[in-house]
Amino acid sequence: MGDLWLASLTILLTIMGSQGQLKTGFYSSSCPNAEATVRSTVQSYFNKDPTIAPALLRLHFHDCFVQGCDGSVLIAGSSAERNALPNAGLRGFEVIEDAKSQLEAKCPGVVSCADILALAARDAVDLSDGPSWSVPTGRRDGRVSLSSQASNMPSPLDPVSVQRKKFSDKGLDDHDLVTLVGAHTIGQTECRFFSYRLYNFTTTGNSDPTINQDFIAQLQALCPNKGNGLKRVSLDIDSPTKFDVSFFKNVRDGNAILESDQRLWGDPATQSIVQDYAGNIRGLLGLKFDYEFRKAMVKLGSVEVKTGTQGEIRKVLPFRNGRPLASSGSSDTWQLAWMRLEEVKRLLGVNLSADSFVYLGYDADEDSVYWAIDLSRESSLVAEFGAMKLCFVELRTLMVATDWVDLKAMGNLAIAGHARALLEWYNISRFCGHCGEKTVPMEAGRRKQCSDESCKKRIYPRVDPVVIMLVIDSENDRALLSKQSRFVPRMWSCLAGFIEPGESLEEAVRRETWEEVGIEVGEVVYHSSQPWPVGPNSMPCQLMVGFFAYAKSLEINVDKEELEDAQWHSREEVRKALAFTEYKKAQQTAASKVEQMCKGVEKTHSLSKEFNVESGELAPMFVPGPFAIAHHLISSWAFPDKDVNGIECRSKQPSGSMSNL
């Protein structure tokens, strides 16, 4: 039981990581349909508007040229790089956001925006009758986006010497420069970026003499003097939506629209490369350009990329009042609603400090860092999350709604429990218990320390140990089950109690049994353990340690302050209780309720009690569901060495004397 609960959490908390590198098929195991999802998304937008292809190419290019291909151009904000002057007119953000949303639903937090950009650029070229290529992936998204850092973007006004320098700074040579500019064969620009060439070049009142005079009138008709500067014009008049070499022919013949493009023909360093590509639109020259363009795009996509832990995919799990944010894609499953850090910051409208988050761990397999954040004070976000079909769900409800044979779902539950326990501990440890001064988080919130220099007491997350035991008679034929007044009707369970200071686990089992039912216990046999992160806020995580306790006496004397009743039950009675209880139905009903919550149909209240009632409505008695260690103690005794409810039982029958140890 304990091993199953912690299976995924063990992986999650692996602190050691490796420096990843770009490689083809990076997502083949973690998100097999990643590239197909991006392709279908680009295809759907391209079918409606083929001019989205150059927009996506430009978006990828502008992303790579600022801080490397890290997706930072996608980050919104008044001072973000997407608002810099060189990035004016950028579009296609909705395509990337759409693909990202689809991938988050399929593979939450796995595929970076930087990789989506690179894949979308490739698909845009391919859909425009251009070449296709294998895109090495594994980029990590950047954390910083500043408009001030976009000054190194190539400009339409740049002379070739400046263009060459800017490309060289990114590890790209003259051949790469001309080849990548060839993407303008499907490109577009706005009149405001070249109209000066038509009417007032170098403030002379004349047109640019390098423009073919027969072409000027055509351009002036497209962009009248003092007309709409935002009007878009194709950079390749001959074949505006076909990826071919006619663009280079236009540059050679003086028909380039941007000044920076035309200058490539006038500079000896680049003229021969343009000449090499210029010629017939189809044929060997086109094939050569396709080949060289593929190589240049792979090279561009590798510019200053962040891999490994340089620019991790950082996933944040929001909580409110101890409830994790969840989503439900169907009526029988739920998922944790991991969000990108940038998205959380956008929703809050503030720049959060590192102190706002609690570190959960690093997953080396997915190269992702996990955090949790408490949004209990941000009540305005509930409606906004609701509009996204997300909801804060009580952890007990998610426990009921989890299929315990689904290891991935169990891993999500373990992560949510771990996060809730840390956040609750974080909230109750704001002040030092030794001197009363404020505490400060250390090691990304994994521990705290008193802020008083004379104290500096270290504080670690709290775990409260609890023993839970199934008391069995000396003949191993009957088990003692109890019920409390707070239980729902007809539910019976094991005895349990907290461990006293200075007490061993076995001593706690014997003491609690004696205090609650007046039965003396001899041999105590360990069964399994389970974290229980749904206790009261003062005890954010209890550790339930399960035992079989073999009775030396049979007479029951119930402590009415602790229990409502306690009775011996035969193995057959317990088996009937387990057989009649429809745990799978209860799980599916709970999962369906979670779906209704996230859709706003159902209120987000605790559902665990009503589902226990539902699950036992056909039985005279029932026991807790598979989400509780009590269920596994009881079922493994009732069905020794048998798989019950999909969980392998690990009953440990006593060996040796029944006498007092």
Residues forming the active site: 62
98 is in an annotated binding site: no
**Quick check: 64 and 78 in contact, CB under 8 A?**
no
- On the CB side of 558, how many CA atoms lie within 13 Å of its CA? 15
**Quick check: 527 and 633 in contact, CB under 8 A?**
yes
DSSP 499: P
What count of other Cβ atoms lies within 10 Å of the Cβ of residue 88? 12
- Please give the structure tokens belonging to residue 584: 């799978």
72 is in an annotated binding site: yes
What is the SS3 string spanning 581-648?
CCHHHHHHHHHHHHHHHHCCCCCCCCCHHHHHHHHCCCCCCECCCCCCHHHHHHHHHHCCCCEECCEE
**Quick check: 325 and 378 in contact, CB under 8 A?**
no
**Quick check: 232 and 240 in contact, CB under 8 A?**
no
State the chain's maximal CA–CA distance in angstroms: 110
**Quick check: 159 and 210 in contact, CB under 8 A?**
no
**Torsion-angle region of 518 (φ positive above 0: left; ψ -120 to 50: alpha; else: beta):** left
CA angle 641, 405, 528 (to 5 degrees): 50
Q: What b-and-e string marks burial along 566-592, b requiring 16 or more CB atoms within 10 Å of the CB?
A: bbbbebebbbbbbeebbbbebbbbbbb
Comparing C-alpha atoms, which of 655, 658, 492 is closest to residue 568? 492
Collapsed DSSP state (helix, strand, coil) of residue 199? helix
565 is in an annotated binding site: no
Collapsed DSSP state (helix, strand, coil) of residue 111? coil
Distance of CA 545 to the CA centre of its chain: 32
141 is in an annotated binding site: no
600 is in an annotated binding site: no
DSSP 500: P
| Whole-angstrom distance, CA of residue 322 vs CA of residue 404 | 22
- Please give the structure tokens belonging to residue 398: 């998610």
473 is in an annotated binding site: no
- Please give the structure tokens belonging to residue 475: 């003949």
The CA-atom distances, in angstroms, between 549 and each of 84, 385, 480 are 70, 47, 10
Which stretches of 318-406 are DSSP H helices? 341-348, 381-387, 395-400
**Torsion-angle region of 556 (φ positive above 0: left; ψ -120 to 50: alpha; else: beta):** beta
70 is in an annotated binding site: yes
| Whole-angstrom distance, CA of residue 375 vs CA of residue 337 | 14
154 is in an annotated binding site: yes
Q: Which amino acid is at 658?
A: M
Comparing C-alpha atoms, which of 532, 297, 271 is closest to residue 395? 532
- Please give the structure tokens belonging to residue 575: 């088996």
63 is in an annotated binding site: yes
Sign of CA dihedral 433, 435, 440, 441: negative
| Whole-angstrom distance, CA of residue 611 vs CA of residue 589 | 8
The CA-atom distances, in angstroms, between 488 and each of 43, 289, 335, 599, 603 are 54, 74, 28, 28, 21
**Structure-token match 């008044």, residue found:** 78
Q: Which amino acid is at 323?
A: R
**Quick check: 91 and 116 in contact, CB under 8 A?**
no
Give the annotated binding-site residues.
63, 66, 68, 70, 72, 81, 154, 184-185, 236, 244
Instruction: Enumerate the known binding-site residues for heme b.
Output: 184
Binding region for substrate: 154
